[in-house]
Amino acid sequence: MTKIVLVTGGTGLVGRAIEAVIDEEKPTNERWIFVGSKDADLTDLQSTRSMFDKYKPTHVIHLAAMVGGLFHNMNNNLDFLRKNMQINDNVLLLSHEFNVQKVVSCLSTCIFPDKTSYPIDETMIHNGPPHESNFGYSYAKRMIDITNRAYNEQYGSMFTSVVPCNVFGPFDNFTPGVSHVIPGMIHRLHETMYSKEPEKAQEEKTFAVYGTGKPLRQFIYSKDLAKLFIWVLRSYQSVEPIILSVDETAEVTIAHLAESLVRAFEFRGKLEFDTSKADGQYKKTASNAKLRKLLPDFQFIDFDSAIRETVQWYIENYDKARK
Ligand code: NAP
Ligand code: GDP
């Protein structure tokens, strides 16, 4: 029987990457539907119900969420908590009502306890309070795992979740004040090079990286994450979350990331660090051992190449990019 796969958040960074992989693959036994907030407001139960009634999915990839970088989280913890709790409760309830066979929802490595041992793994999600900068987002995300377990215990449902590290790629949100670090820096570096201080030669310009540049992050290219998401939907049969991250050895500092962006843009000015801005969590090093055990041969795209592709996409799609 043909699977009907509904992807909530299908118009965002991760959703577009899944769509691109599916467009290349053209599976014959699956019909994929990608929806965004124009198709339904998932904070609203009736709107969510109408959408499930329209598509009658057999499978759901649930990506829709209020999403943002460190500074957006620090200023909006209540909204992150409430909106994401509403969206998640509605999507999981309707998945239950429509007898969806499998739901794969999305957590994040930034929801783990602030005080923890490293590397973090799937067993540690609920072990202590998250970092204070994003507690609203973190507790809402953690509740997905709790809700999945409760649906499984009460009804035997196969509602599971994946835990990606920081994601980047085409179709990201480049909006200042909202964006994560990679789209944020891409947008600001582009402005520095092409719009700000037009009277100055590029060699005399300075680009300010927020914070000390010392925090460590694992970054996954959206296309790699998309392939892994599709594999989880088709092949991973457990309610237990699974971390979808690059290896621990691929972790980089924010300063290293800035240098990779400087190379991709061929920026000839200077870098400086604005230490009046917050660093956020120092690190959240995650182990992908569970993933590696199940998919030992998966090849991640090289970081600098993925950064170059993302910068290229931003330059070519400057007018339509979210900024
Ligand atoms: P994104 O680019 O901001 O996309 C968010 C998606 O959610 C969009 O399709 C948006 O629709 C939809 N959405 C938001 N509010 C909605 C609402 N009320 N009703 C219906 N749809 C709504 O985010 P992303 O980076 O792709 O994130 C996808 C998932 O990955 C999220 O669950 C996020 O928590 C998780 N994640 C992201 C990262 C990261 O670094 N980006 C890391 C770990 C986990 P519109 O396009 O119509 O606005
Ligand atoms: P996080 O990984 O959840 O903390 O969120 P971000 O993706 O927003 O990354 C935040 C880290 O990048 C912090 O250490 C910031 O100080 C640093 N950073 C440097 N420049 C920028 C920028 O332009 N935007 C953002 N969001 N963070 C930046």
What are 258-313's pLDDT values in tens digits?
Answer: 999 999 999 999 999 999 999 999 999 999 999 999 999 999 999 999 999 999 99
What's the pLDDT score for residue 296? Answer: 96
Residue nearest to atom 20 of ligand 1 (CA): 37
Residue nearest to atom 16 of ligand 1 (CA): 37
Does pTM surpass 0.95?
Answer: yes
Q: Work out which ligand 1 atom sits closest to the CA atom of 109.
A: 43
What's the pLDDT score for residue 243? Answer: 98
The CA radius of gyration of the chain, in Å to the nearest whole number, is 20
Q: Is the CB of 209 under 6 A from ligand 2?
A: yes
Q: Which of 110, 181, 220 has most ligand 2 atoms within 8 Å of its beta carbon, as the pocket-test mutant? A: 181
**166 CA to middle of ligand 2, Å?**
10
Does residue 106 carry a pLDDT above 90?
Answer: yes
Average pLDDT, the chain: 97
**9 CA to middle of ligand 1, Å?**
5
**Which CATH entry fits the domain spanning 3-167+219-247: 3.30.1330.50, 3.40.50.720, 3.40.50.300, 1.10.150.120?**
3.40.50.720
Per-residue pLDDT tens over the stretch 5-19: 999 999 999 999 999
Does residue 136 carry a pLDDT above 90?
Answer: yes
**206 CA to middle of ligand 1, Å?**
32
What's the pLDDT score for residue 306? Answer: 98
Does residue 236 carry a pLDDT above 90?
Answer: yes
What's the pLDDT score for residue 1? Answer: 87
* Ligand with minimal distance to 212 CA: 2
Who's near 190: CB < 8 A, 6+ residues apart?
Answer: 265, 314, 315, 318
Q: Is the CB of 144 under 6 A from ligand 1?
A: no
Token representation of residue 68? 């943002």
Does residue 257 carry a pLDDT above 90?
Answer: yes
Q: Is the CB of 49 under 6 A from ligand 2?
A: no
Collapsed DSSP state (helix, strand, coil) of residue 104: strand
Where are the domains positioned within the chain?
A: 3-167+219-247, 170-216+249-285+301-316
Collapsed DSSP state (helix, strand, coil) of residue 181: helix
Number of Cβ within 10 Å of residue 129's Cβ equals 11
Question: Over pLDDT 70: what percentage of the chain?
Answer: 100
Q: Is 194 a catalytic residue?
A: no
In this structure, the dihedral spanned by the alpha carbons of residues 286, 114, 109 and 80, taken in order and rounded to 10 degrees, is 180
**284 CA to middle of ligand 1, Å?**
21
Q: How far apart are CA 163 and CA 121, in angstroms?
A: 10
Average pLDDT rounded to a whole number, residues 81-101: 98
Q: Which CATH class is domain 170-216+249-285+301-316?
A: alpha beta
Does residue 28 carry a pLDDT above 90?
Answer: yes
Helices (H), 109-244: 135-155, 181-194, 222-235
Whether residue 119 is preceded by a cis peptide bond, meaning omega within 30 degrees of 0, is yes
Average pLDDT rounded to a whole number, residues 58-86: 97
Does residue 251 carry a pLDDT above 90?
Answer: yes
Q: Where are the beta strands (DSSP E) in the chain?
A: 3-8, 30-35, 59-62, 102-106, 159-164, 166-168, 206-210, 216-217, 219-221, 242-244, 252-253, 270-274
